[in-house]
Amino acid sequence: RIIRFLNGNGTPQLAALTDENQVFELPYKDLLTMVEKAKQKNVTALALVQEFIQLSLPLEAELKDLTLLVPIEAPEVWAAGVTYEKSRDERNYEATGGKLNASTFYDKVYDAERPELFFKSSAARTIGPDKEVYLRSDSNWQIPEPELGMVLNREGEVIGYTIGNDMSCRDIEGENPLYLPQAKIWKNSCSIGPAIRLAETVDDPYQFQIICRIYRGGSKVFEDSASTSQLKRELGELVSYLVRENTVFDGTVLLTGTCIVPPHDFTLLDGDRIEIEIPGIGILNNPVKSQVQQP
Ligand code: DO4
Ligand code: MG
């Protein structure tokens, strides 16, 4: 796994994280530079990392002592929607005011050939591990959306996998589908990290478990888990629609949709803490904070 952290001089440092959670500094500016270097040497990024691990010693500091940064400064984060049955059912609930037997455009997109893809975030709006995700002040129904993220290069090849939180306002989304950008995009509404698992180390991306926990006042108020085996669509299918007639930048992250939704009466509050875990990638931890009001 690849991480970034702030070193003693206050500058970002790229590093490899082993299965034993040992941290080895890597001599590259970022993951994209490392992948480029591997291509030039005609080796995999994994082989390059293994070479450094064999030649160096791990840091004495433990992972928990490091100030982690976003593992990649993704120029854009895109997201797929309604890729799990659970997501379709919950959107129907929002859009119909709870009439579960009503048919909506969410049913249509779930079965359509073309997936739902939307622009989620830019580098300036995306935060990393342990940073605060913000709430909107004009929504009363806000949830985290725990999702597997694919890190892509400009050709749409998957470089690695990460964890993403597609923070969402269910009331704004349910009021009118045209409000989707406001229900999805605001300051600190997207979190990614803590690590990127190199694609070549993943045998089967449909076997990731996703776990979400929400803590309030020190107690756990929500926990649920799901698996990427429940995805309705293939990951390659999502990427192929993203790159179609599009300019995609190196390091773009594509979130693959949520399969975990807290109960209908749940909304995030200032002071909550969200943990999203994907074993094999890590735990993305973010405190929740009300938006700081502009004077
Ligand atoms: O259609 C609205 C958004 C869906 C979404 O974000 C998801 O399914 O994860
Ligand atoms: Mg989502």
- Give me the pLDDT at residue 95, please: 86
Alpha carbon of 241 to ligand 2 centroid (Å) = 17
- Give me the pLDDT at residue 110, please: 93
Confidence of residue 64 (pLDDT cuts 50, 70, 90): very high
Q: Which of 86, 89, 96, 145 to mutate to test the pocket of ligand 1 (most atoms within 8 A of CB)?
A: 145
Closest Cα to atom 6, ligand 1: which residue? 81
- Give me the pLDDT at residue 38, please: 97
Domain residues of the chain, as ranges? 2-69, 76-290
The structure tokens listed for 138 are 């004009």
Could you identify the residue written with the tokens 């959107």? 91
Q: How far apart are the C-alpha atoms of 33 and 17, rounded to whole Å?
A: 18
Alpha carbon of 5 to ligand 1 centroid (Å) = 30
Range 76-290: architecture per CATH: Alpha-Beta Complex (3.90)
Residues framing ligand 1 (Cβ under 6 A) = 79, 81-82, 87, 91, 116, 145, 166, 173, 257-258
Instruction: Convert the pLDDT of each residue in 102-125 to its tens digit.
Output: 778 888 899 999 999 999 999 999
Confidence of residue 60 (pLDDT cuts 50, 70, 90): very high
Closest Cα to atom 1, ligand 1: which residue? 81
Is ipTM strictly over 0.95?
yes
Q: Give which of 241, 259, 243, 248 is closest to 114, Cα–Cα.
A: 241
Instruction: Convert the pLDDT of each residue in 181-215 to its tens digit.
Output: 999 999 999 999 999 999 999 999 999 999 999 99
Alpha carbon of 31 to ligand 1 centroid (Å) = 28
Asked if 196 and 1 count as a contact pair (C-beta separation under 8 A), the reply is: yes
- Give me the pLDDT at residue 294, please: 63
Instruction: Convert the pLDDT of each residue in 228-251 to its tens digit.
Output: 999 999 999 999 999 999 999 999
Mean pLDDT for the chain overall: 95
